[in-house]
Amino acid sequence: MTAPNGWTTALVTGASSGIGEALARQLAADGINLVLVARRQDRLKALARELDVDVEVLVVDLSDASAIQQVVSRLQDSESPIDLLVNNAGSGTVGDFLETDAEAEANMVGVNVSAVHTLCRAAGTAMTSRGRGWILNVSSIAGFAPNPRSATYGATKAFVTSLSESLHLELGPQGVVVTCVCPGLTETEFHRQAGYQPEGVPARTWQTADQVARAALNGVAAGKAVVVPGGQNRAAVLAARVAPQSLVRRAAARLATLNGK
């Protein structure tokens, strides 16, 4: 990635592992100072010690509407502005909709939807007042089609993608780039924590967190609206958008059987 002129500080949520950690490392390699946000203080501090840039650590549970105000305040700090906001934090659940844990589902909506919405508003307000800024939202190809047995997760990612594309159009004329990256299967802790066990999915389908992070940062630096890393993922998204929706639903139902039902 070649960072745009003026990228000095980036704020990355969900930076303690996976794609968020990869994004933080790649930004630091380009000399960009960081504000790292996640729940796990030990991991954030360990990562901060490894990076050769200035790093602030904010230990915040983004499912907590009151705690998120710490991040809002940091985004709105005019004396130490954030040039790039990366909304990466997210969670997922797997299981029949009526049988999944209600609290886990509510927390997922809080992190995947409400937190992204709140931080986009905070960053967008600060950035448009300066006439410049960048926002990178991490979504998923799951947002382009039905997701039986991950219904709420897919719906949250559809929200993130739709919001991002709209803000790309709204905020662009005011100097703010909004980009959404939509990865497919990625080698992180996420799938294990969500309970997703994709038996029978070919190894070539998976990407590394570094590959996704690189594509995401290249995309936001280039001012793109949507980035889908990986040829197979782009083909899947294209099919979901142009194929008859009855076929898309049948394919989604078939894919759901790969995870135990």
Question: In angstroms, how far is CA 100 from the centroid of its own chain?
Answer: 23
Cβ atoms 32, 10 nearer than 8 A: yes
| HSE value, Cβ hemisphere, 13 Å, CA-based, for 39 | 8
Nearest to 57 by CA among 76, 36, 40: 36
Place of tokens 């410049």: 132
Nearest to 37 by CA among 57, 20, 64: 57
Bridging pattern class, strands 186-187 and 207-208: parallel
Which residues are the active-site residues?
A: 153
> Encoding tokens for residue 205?
């389908």
- Please give the biggest Cα pair distance in the chain: 53
Type and span of the H or E element at 36: strand 33-38
Residues 6 or more apart whose CB falls under 8 angstroms from that of 42 comprise none
- 30-33 long-range contacts, Cβ below 8 Å, gap at least 24? 30/1, 30/2, 30/3, 32/3, 32/7, 32/8, 32/83, 32/84, 33/8, 33/9
Residues 6 or more apart whose CB falls under 8 angstroms from that of 119 comprise 13, 68, 71, 72, 75, 85, 87
